[in-house]
């Protein structure tokens, strides 16, 4: 699933190509794409007609396009969702779900989703954590790149969770935007095993971990994100290439870039965790 850097790449593309334009029409080609829009596909389309799109925003893995008034188009890409900017008249993509045209006759915005786990909806904005965000995500915590992110509050809440540090990093109500890939990469940079109890982490170690998470996601963003297949693309359909720079994720049995020890893979929450057994020794007593 796309994580913060991949979603931010898309947000920047939307800001450049879509923000400030007026919607002429919206067409829903597959009802599952707007399943979270309770009034239905027809109301979704009619509610967008004539609306002016504001500057694209993001929190964690969610992005939205504010509309004139007090609501927004909220999008979650799911496993395979793509928001593409395409010239009008271009052949429809195989898995095209929603198409939005603009009054200036320029490039359309298309939502393409092969596996249909993603969704778009129109929803009201509400205050959350010092800013206005779409109502369905008011429970999502600030991400580590937001000015509103409170490191001291995060540190206290992290230590209070009494869980494993990787589980805490993936908890979007604690810190948003970090997924499986960048959690493993941040933990490697911070020399922490994912099973380390959060209650055992000192404030300086938490700061190191946050710094590592910011650094690895910033590096990924500079390279267009991590793309393991053709599904994770920017608004122009181009893939990122940070997968070439990953230190541990997906690199089982390859040498650790720091010490040369073979990377190991461990099962984690029906997924995989990758780490260096020398740089990131497993704690003797894990959280029960």
Cα gap 232→243, rounded to integer Å: 12
What is the token pair recorded at 171?
């908890």
Q: What is the DSSP letter of 147?
A: T
Which own/partner pairs from 142-147 qualify as long-range (CB within 8 Å, at least 24 positions apart)? 142/59, 142/175, 142/176, 143/4, 143/59, 143/60, 143/175, 143/176, 143/177, 143/178, 144/175, 144/177, 144/178, 144/210, 144/213, 144/214, 144/217, 145/4, 145/8, 145/177, 145/214, 145/217, 146/59
Reduced to 3 states, what is the DSSP secondary structure of residue 167? helix
User: Could you give the strand order of the β-sheet that contains 62-66, starting from the edge strand earlier in sequence?
Assistant: 57-59, 62-66, 71-76, 119-128, 131-134
Which residue, among 203, 213, 185, has the nearest Cα to 280 in the 3D structure?
185
Contact 258, 189 (CB under 8 A): no
Reduced to 3 states, what is the DSSP secondary structure of residue 55? coil
Contact 35, 117 (CB under 8 A): no
What is the token pair recorded at 197?
């109890």
Contact 271, 119 (CB under 8 A): no
Catalytic residues: 2-3, 61, 271
């Amino acid at each position: 699933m796309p994580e913060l850097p991949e979603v931010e790449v898309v947000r920047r593309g939307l800001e450049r190509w879509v923000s400030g334009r007026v919607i002429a029409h919206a067409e829903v080609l597959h009802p599952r794409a707007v399943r979270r829009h309770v009034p239905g596909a027809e109301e979704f389309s009619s509610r967008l007609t004539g609306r002016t799109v504001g500057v694209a925003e993001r929190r964690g893995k969610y992005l939205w396009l504010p509309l004139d008034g007090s609501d927004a188009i909220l999008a979650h890409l799911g496993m395979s969702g793509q928001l593409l900017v395409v010239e009008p008249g271009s052949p429809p993509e195989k898995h095209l779900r929603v198409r939005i045209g603009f009054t200036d006759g320029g490039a359309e915005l298309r939502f393409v989703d092969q596996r249909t786990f993603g969704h778009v909806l129109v929803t009201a904005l509400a205050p959350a954590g010092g800013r206005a965000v779409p109502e369905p995500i008011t429970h999502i915590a600030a991400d580590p790149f937001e000015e509103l992110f409170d490191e001291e509050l995060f540190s206290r809440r992290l230590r209070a969770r009494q869980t494993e540090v990787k589980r805490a990093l993936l908890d979007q109500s604690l810190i948003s935007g970090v997924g499986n890939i960048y959690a493993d990469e941040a933990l490697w940079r911070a020399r922490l095993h994912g099973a380390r109890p959060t209650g055992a982490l000192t404030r300086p170690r938490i700061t190191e971990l946050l710094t590592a998470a910011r650094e690895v996601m910033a590096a990924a963003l500079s390279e267009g994100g991590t793309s393991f297949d053709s599904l994770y693309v920017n608004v122009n359909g181009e893939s990122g290439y940070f997968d070439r720079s990953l230190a541990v994720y997906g690199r089982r049995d390859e040498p650790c870039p720091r010490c040369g020890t073979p990377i190991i893979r461990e099962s984690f929450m029906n997924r995989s965790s990758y780490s260096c057994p020398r740089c990131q020794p497993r704690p003797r007593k894990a959280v029960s």
